[in-house]
Structure 1
Amino acid sequence: MMRRLFLVLTVALALTAGDFEDGREMFNLGHYEKAAKLFEKACVAGDKRGCYALEYMPSAARQARSDYQAVSKKYEERCRHGDAAACFKLGVKYNYGLGTRQDYRTAVTWYQKACEFGDGEVCYKLGRHYVDGKGVPQDYTVAGKFFEKACAEEVPAACAWLGYLYGHGYGFERDDKQAAAYYQKACEKGDARGCYYLGHMYDKGIGFRQNYAKAAELYEKACASGVADGCSGLALLYQYGYGVESDEKRAMELYGKACDLGSDEGCRFYRILKGAGR
């Protein structure tokens, strides 16, 4: 029953991507009311793109395209006078192609202004652009600088990314202690990937003395928040009794959850345990 529920949730999240794309199409056709409803639906279902689009739309969605362009000019003027929110909304416009051609490079320009004016969330988005090479050359060092700004502004995902860069030597000299510190901060602030990566360090004895019980605790947090790797890691500990009491039934359940969350490894181990009649 639980596996079926997770499968339904996974499918539902996939469908929200269609709500956003449909909303963007309606927006660019000038059907702003329909677009707003689709963006709101996507946002409520967990698609952040829908939320970002709604940030841009409120004062423009119900106006004619000419009025909408006038609103864009107002945002440009406000941005130039230090309004971080206005800069962010302009970045959203170009990042997602709302009423204009999608243009990552121009989006980055506006996001950078918003970041300079102290918007940590936008600094994080900029860091992701430099990691992914969207509109800018891929550059982990520059990404790290934006993540540092965002992490200082208490954006947990940025702290997790900093941990990842330090832990893998991308853009910085590899430093396991720094990686662990950033993962710890991210996890404490609610970023599930941070919990998973910190758990992995305890699991493998990277930067710490190996501690399976601590790894299990952190994997549990990550898994509960929908991180497939956290579920797989915790399943392995239950399968072999590392840091927890051995429980192959629980291990199979966790592998099944990881599978439903999209982990090929979880699917493979779930089939193995199920085939063994456990």
Structure 2
Amino acid sequence: MKFENKIIWITGASSGIGKALAIELSKYNCKLILSSRREEELQDVKRNCSKPENVEVLTLDLADYLNMKPIAESAIKRFGKVDILINNGGISQRSPIIETSIEVDKKLMEIDYLGTIALSKALLPHFVTNTSGHYVVVSSLMGKFSSHYRSAYCGAKHALHGFFDALRLEHDKDNIKVTIICPGFVNTNVARNALTADGTQQGYQDEMTENGLDVDVFVSKMIKAIRKEKFEAYIGKFEKFGVFVKRLSPRLIHKLVMRSKVR
């Protein structure tokens, strides 16, 4: 797949992976729609893109998952169509299960799962009509195997795999592609913004995230995976091999994660 002359919609585009992805994709001859809740930050990302005139800003809140249809219609009107939707928006969580309020579990499911699938479903008729479309879903290695203190996050990410695997099957006949990107540790603010047991933000970086892949390195690998239309891509350092260990022995990955210093 080539990005030239494509219209690409990126959620969670105001910071982290989404911001770096927008800036890198803007170097191609394509048009971008950038979304998140924060318009001022999106405008700043737009100004940093290679061709700001080819970039549109469209605010949305994934938690408002019952109202995604007009958002999708607005996105389509910006450039007349959408070719690729990169579902990157979301939040993480850091807290023991026994201490975590069910409201935190609910919020993670609303934003990371329901918001993502609601937006994707709102755009689906457009893709079907065009007999073309590509969903890119930023999941996590935690969508393939779990770790301490991320129960709500792992649950939401596992759910994304189930949904988008089904979508890929149902709409293969419509030439609709699905690529699920599974990052390991990437040096962004994801840990600082993660919710704790009572729903407040953690507010600090953790060692594993800080020592993770540089975001620009990650984005370069992510773009290669999208271009190859991979079903799934596992991008990280040593932690990415946990996916293959899990396939071979669920008991072994349990022991390895237990020994890790993940927090």
State the TM-score, normalizing by the size of structure 1.
0.27
Task: State the structure with bigger RCO (CA 8 A, min sep 6), 1 or 2.
Answer: 2
State the TM-score, normalizing by the size of structure 2.
0.28
Task: Give the structure with the higher percent strand.
Answer: 2
